[in-house]
Amino acid sequence: MSDCINIKGVTAFGHHGVFDFEKRDGQVFSVDLEIHLDLTAASNSDRLEDSIDYSLFTTIAREAIEGEAFDLIERLAGFIADRIKNEFPVVQSLAVTVHKPQAPVKENVTDIAVTIRR
Which of 8, 23, 85, 100 is an active site residue?
100
Condensed to tens digits (0 to 9), the pLDDT of residues 51-103 reads 999 999 999 999 999 999 999 999 999 999 999 999 999 999 999 999 999 99
106 is catalytic: no
In total, how many domains does the chain have? Answer: 1
pTM: 0.93
Predicted pLDDT at 89? 94
Predicted pLDDT at 1? 59
Longest dimension (CA), the chain: 52
* CA–CA distance, 98 with 114 (Å, rounded to integer): 5
Is residue 60 classed as helix, strand or coil in its secondary structure? helix
CATH number at residue 85: 3.30.1130.10
Strands 3-14 and 27-37: antiparallel
> What mean pLDDT value characterizes the chain?
95
- The type of residue at 76 is L
Full residue range of the structural domain in which residue 47 is found:
3-117
* CA–CA distance, 47 with 12 (Å, rounded to integer): 31
